Amino acid sequence: MPPLLEIEGLTKHFPVTIAIFPRKKVAWVKAVDGIDFAVASGETLGVIGESGCGKTTTSKLILLQESPTAGTIRFDGQDITGLAGPDLMRYRREVQVVFQDPYSSLSPRMRVSEIVAEPLQIHTSLSREQQHDRVAEVLDLVGLRPEVARLFPHEFSGGQRQRIAIARALVTNTRLIVLDEPVSALDVSIRAQIMNQLEELQQRLGVSYLFIGHDLATVAHISHRIAVMYLGQIVELADALELCKKPLHPYTQALFTAALPAHPDEKRERLTIAGEVPSALAPPSGCRFHPRCPQAMARCSVEAPTRKEVAPGHSVACHLY
Amino acid sequence: MASLLQVSDLQTHYVSFGGERIIKAVDRVSFTLEEGQTLGIVGESGCGKTTTCLSIVGLLPAAARIVGGSIEFAGQDLARLSQREMRRIRGAQIAMILQDPMASLNPLFSIYTQVAEPAYYHRALRGRSLRERVRELLNAVRIPSPMLRMREYPHQMSGGMRQRIVGAIALAGGPRLIIADEPTTNLDVTIQAQYLDLLKELQEKTGVAIIFVTHNLGIVARMCDKLAVMYAGKIVEAGSVRDLFTTPKHPYTKALLGSMPKLGSKEKLLAIPGQPPDLATLPPGCAFHPRCPEALPICACEEPGEVRVDGSRTARCWRAEPQINDPAKEIHAAAAGN
């Protein structure tokens, strides 16, 4: 069976222009530079990386908010770049998104019922009563009482708003939800609630998640597999537990040493990488991580490594392997 | 020897509608901090952790008032000092690092001007010695080529660098206490680790005491010696970090620890039901009881006092009271026996 979402060589370069007229392109920001991954149905793929690594651009490409410079995105075996008409509508119906900040992603002037029913009005021909029933059904799924449907977003706390956003994403029998840092804006105790809710919904409905985040522990907890991104490229992709046990790429290893301990007695080596993420405008030659890499060799600054499988389901882009 | 900072029974209230509405943002908070120690204050948004810090540095908003308690710092009660007297302490003795470095740096002044200001006013440095001091500070926070960088402006720096500049400003007056209010929330993971290592190193070098305000227990585990857990304006549990992480006594502390995802484990997270209460409409009794998995009937009607668990450890929970705990245990034992 083909995977639900399959991405091959996906690339997005943004032009940098100077002067209004004549508009001159002086450089390219290589936000996403040739990434491949696949998401099976019912699976959670975690994408982790620091700011500027291209994780949000990737999600925008999948959501068709940006068009790729090169590469293909296949959903259900079908290339989505050329979709139009009813096929495009079907894609938009089956792929939904939940954003980071539930305070700005819900319209303050719409009632919860209108917010959650909007995808139904666009994508289905359900009658008003049927829509009402469906809204009540998904609100119940995300742990909200159906009575809240007539309230406005400002009457809810951050965690409840995020539940409303999830309800809206689920209402059209969605098959893939892109979760762009869905818990980083929430309080610690509420985070656990939302994470548990997401896991429960997946078990019940078999929906796939693309979970984007920067907190290693959170992403590792909810994901089946994890892709580690650095400057527009995937440097390592592996099963979540395998990645925690045996991170191979020096950057992944650095992320693990930088992760905060769960207990004060937890042993931890000193952070081995210095410096900051270089600009995507002028990425380093060869392997993009080599200026910060503690194990860099002469070859790393010249030749860019390609990602290859070193163990079943565990691939890494590094000259060490 | 007296502690560097001793906060006792601090009460800070927000008064609105001409005194009709009182919000007890900080309610009888007490803690002590010694020279060179790090205290973590942990809690969810709206639990009063920031108000506690603002009370210490005397930067409360107009609606807030310290209505009781004292803040003894190096032999002075900060709660009773005038703004003029506070100005001699802020920056010189107590410095603050805020969450957003872009908001705490002035975009119109060069890095030099901003780092030099506390040293100019509080250390009375001028001319070449002032420039030398700024260079030392920027070196200490690992800004590369400080002589060039000090002429630049905040927008020319990356987020991590800006936060390090704020750290340099905090150190410029040679403070004995630094209050860091979520200093790494806006930073990337590897940059955050670098910054925390740097703070630790500077603390070892200068012996400054640090209060770390955060909602991230991982930061506490890495950085702090002592921990105070706040809920609805009160410290519900306090003690050494190791004790609190190993044997938490208050159900809220337990829940916070349980809701932290652990690396390499797929164990279901322990979620706390409900949400943090609104300080204006607190439930009667213990403020945590509606969300507490271990609530007793007494929790809904009477507020628990502070119980000394052992040594320096305190908890505000009926379960921690010896006379309450024992019969409860018996009930549990009986239930388990059946």
For A25-48, the pLDDT digits (tens) are 778 888 899 999 999 999 999 999
CB B22 within 8 A of CB B194: no
Strands (E), B57-200: 64-73, 76-77, 94-97, 177-181
Exposure string for B177-209, b = 16+ CB within 10 A, e = fewer:
bbbbbbbbebbbbbbbbbbbebbeebbeeeebb
Distance from CA of A250 to the nearest CA of B (A): 13
First to last CA, chain B: 55
Q: How far is A234 from chain B (nearest CA, A)?
A: 17
Q: Which of B219, B258, B264 is the closest to A245 by Cβ?
A: B264
In chain A, which residues have their Cβ closer than 8 Å to the Cβ of B236?
none
CB A229 within 8 A of CB A54: yes
pLDDT, residue B324, reads 57
A284 in a structural domain: no
Judge whether A45 lies within some domain. yes
Size of the A and B interface in Cβ pairs below 8 Å = 124
- What mean pLDDT is predicted for residues B124-136? 91
CA B219 to CA B210: how far, in whole Å?
13
Q: Is A258 helix (H, G, I), strand (E, B) or coil?
A: helix
Tell me if the bond preceding A119 is cis, omega within 30° of 0. no
Checking if the pLDDT of B248 tops 80, the result is yes
Name every residue whose Cβ is closer than 8 Å to that of residue A185 and which is 6 or more positions away in sequence.
A100, A101, A102, A103, A158
ipTM, two decimals: 0.82
Give the pLDDT confidence score for residue A257 in this predicted structure. Answer: 86
Q: Could you give the CA distance from residue B35 to residue B194 in angstroms, rounded to a whole number?
A: 24
Does residue A298 lie in a domain region?
A: no
Residue to test with chain B: of A44, A218, A239, A260, most B Cβ within 10 A: A260
| A286 located within any domain | no
* Residue A91 domain boundaries: 5-272+310-315
* Residue A235: burial class (beta carbons within 10 Å; 0-12, 13-18, 19+): buried
What residue spans define the domains of chain B?
256-338
Residue A132: which CATH number?
3.40.50.300
A5-18 and A70-75 strand pairing = antiparallel
In sequence order, what are the beta bridge partners of A16? A27
Confidence of residue B325 (pLDDT cuts 50, 70, 90): low
User: How far is the C-alpha of B182 from the C-alpha of B224, rounded, in Å?
Assistant: 13
CB contact under 8 A, A217 and B260: yes
A220/B261 touch (CB, cutoff 8 Å), yes or no: yes
Q: Is residue A291 part of a domain?
A: no
Residue B56 tokens, joined:
């210490």
Report the chain A residue with the minimal C-alpha distance to residue B186.
Answer: A51
Does B266 lie at the interface with A, CB-CB under 8 angstroms? yes
User: According to the model, what pLDDT value does residue A18 have?
Assistant: 76
Which residues, in sequence order, are CB contacts of B239 under 8 Å at separation 6+? B226, B227, B309, B311, B312, B313, B314
pLDDT at residue A1 tops 90: no
- Phi/psi-derived region of residue A191, left when phi > 0, alpha when psi is between -120 and 50, beta in every other case: alpha
* Candidate from B160, B218, B276 with C-beta closest to A187: B276
pLDDT digits (tens, 9 = 90+) for B10-67: 999 998 888 788 889 999 999 999 999 999 999 888 888 889 999 999 999 888 999 9
Number of domains in chain A: 1
User: Cβ contact (<8 Å) for B270 and A192?
Assistant: yes
Pairing mode of beta strands B177-181, B209-214:
parallel
- For residue B127, give Cα distances in angstroms to B120, B134, B151, B169, B272: 10, 11, 15, 18, 57
Q: Distance between CA B181 and CA B97 in Å, rounded?
A: 6
Question: How much is the pLDDT for B8?
Answer: 93
Nearest CA in chain B to A275: B191
Q: What is the mean pLDDT of chain A?
A: 89
What is the mean pLDDT of the segment spanning A132-142?
Answer: 93
| Minimal-distance CA residue of chain B relative to A239 | B264
- Domain assignment present for A303: no
Q: Do A259 and B44 touch (CB under 8 A)?
A: no
pLDDT digits (tens, 9 = 90+) for A229-286: 999 999 999 999 999 989 999 999 998 888 888 888 876 666 667 777 888 788 888 8
Q: Which amino acid is at B101?
A: P
Burial of A5 (0-12, 13-18, 19+ CB in 10 A): buried
| Band of residue B319 on the pLDDT scale cut at 50, 70, 90 | confident
* Contact criterion met (CB < 8 Å) for B272 and A195: no
Dmax (CA) of chain B: 81
> Quick check: B216 and A273 CB within 8 A?
no
Contact A192 B241 (CB under 8 A): no
Indicate the burial class of A263 (C-beta count within 10 angstroms; 0-12, 13-18, 19 or more): middle
pLDDT of residue B330: 46
The answer to whether the beta carbons of residues A31 and A14 sit under 8 Å apart is yes
What pLDDT score was predicted for residue B333?
A: 45
Per-residue pLDDT reduced to its tens digit, B213-242: 998 888 999 999 999 999 999 999 999 999
Torsion of the alpha carbons at B321, B322, B326 and B327, rounded to the nearest 10: -50
Among the ranges A252-261, A269-278, B264-273, B274-283, which has the highest mean pLDDT value? Answer: A252-261
Supply φ then ψ for residue A208, to 5 degrees.
-95, 150
Asked whether the beta carbons of A62 and A210 are under 8 A apart, the reply is yes
